[in-house]
Amino acid sequence: MCRHPIVGDVVLTVAVTGAAIQVADPIGRAPAAVGYGLAAFTGLPLLVRRRFPAVVLVLTVLALSAFFVLRFQTSVGFFGPLVAAYTVAVDYTLPVSAGMVAVSLVITKLSVVLGHVEGWLDGLPHLLTQGILAVAIGHAVRSRRHSASRAKRAVTEERAWVARELHDVVGHHIAVVSVHANLAQRLLESDSGASSRALHAISSTSNESLDELRRLLHALRSNDELVGPASVSTGLLTSTVVDRLVRRIKAAGVPVNVRVVGTPRALPPALELCAYRVIQESLTNVVKHAEQATVDVCLDYQDDFFAASVANTGLPSSADPRTGRGLAGMRERANQCGGVVRCEPLASGGFRVDLRLPLMPEAMRSP
């Protein structure tokens, strides 16, 4: 692919136009200047073929048709309309481009008949073959570009997913470790028992963080073409996993109450991972940004949706949770699953995060 398309188009236009003038026979019903002008115009519009492919096809075909109607001759034909047909096939779907080229071939054939152009009256198979080749090559290029675009988009989505996972895993565990480390430092001399428990919590949290990072790295190193929620999401909303997360937050000095509405059940991997990370990030923000907080977590299992809310009554610290990437990451996760996240401060103080995920078939597929 040319790095500078405009340069390539200029070179192509000059070459095609020059060739058209070179092979044109200016003997016809009009002055020779008209013949040369029409021949040149079968190539000149190619300069803007990328911006206006359909218009360029129309202009080049009309110029060629006028050339034939005025009984001008050409020894080998003109390449401008063929290049325009190829460009249309690259930019438009196959049915549309094939239809436009078919109409162009009919107009060209009619102009040959009206002008009684010798040597071209029986040239329909030749014109048809050229048109089919132009459309086929253009459609092949279009398909290849779309495949490359899809692959690039998939890689971009994968990188974004990995970035969110690293942010949530590392951010959550480091925040908890920081709280326990500060606590252990304060109590090291005055309360050795509490200090020991804080150090134990640091060790446990660090090990859990390493386990999650190992799972993520294993998914990245696997032979799967792409990684996603199914690679690391295994029962993240079970009572065991949720209780472990809650105990970790409680050990950091934050009281947490959990309420479950409806009948708990397994969710599709994408939804399960999204819900767990939103809850995890919300609790992490309480540890990092709210002082003297009490947290209420609600998990709501309904037939057509799953909802989760995390509300705290703490006083905001100097750091605003809305200034980081955490809340934006929550919204990105929910959006990819067809859901929505609302984050807002409470009038009575504190902060609330609400997640709602649809349990529809299209939302159950992992990206």
Token digits of residue 328: 């934006």
pTM of the model: 0.51
Angle at CA of residue 283, ends 231 and 317, nearest 5°: 140
Q: Rounded to whole angstroms, how far apart are CA atoms 315 and 253?
A: 14
Token digits of residue 55: 């218009």
The winner for highest mean pLDDT among 54-63, 104-113, 236-245, 324-333 is 54-63
Q: How many CA atoms lie within 13 A of 336 on its CB side?
A: 23
The number of angstroms, rounded, from the C-alpha of 291 to the middle of its chain's C-alpha atoms is 39
| Residue 313, helix vs strand vs coil | coil
pLDDT in tens, 142-201: 988 888 777 777 666 666 666 666 666 666 566 666 666 666 656 565 665 666 666 666
Per-residue pLDDT, averaged over 32-59, amounts to: 91
Cβ atoms of 50 and 87 within 8 Å: the answer is: yes
**Counting beta carbons within 10 angstroms of the beta carbon of residue 27, is it exposed (0 to 12), middle (13 to 18) or buried (19 or more)?**
exposed
Tokens 């349990």, located at residue: 359
pLDDT in tens, 68-125: 888 887 766 678 999 999 999 999 999 999 999 999 988 988 888 887 766 555 566 7
pLDDT at 315: 66
What's the whole-number average pLDDT of the chain?
Answer: 78
pLDDT at 137: 93
Higher pLDDT, 259 or 324: 259
Model confidence at 306: pLDDT above 90: yes
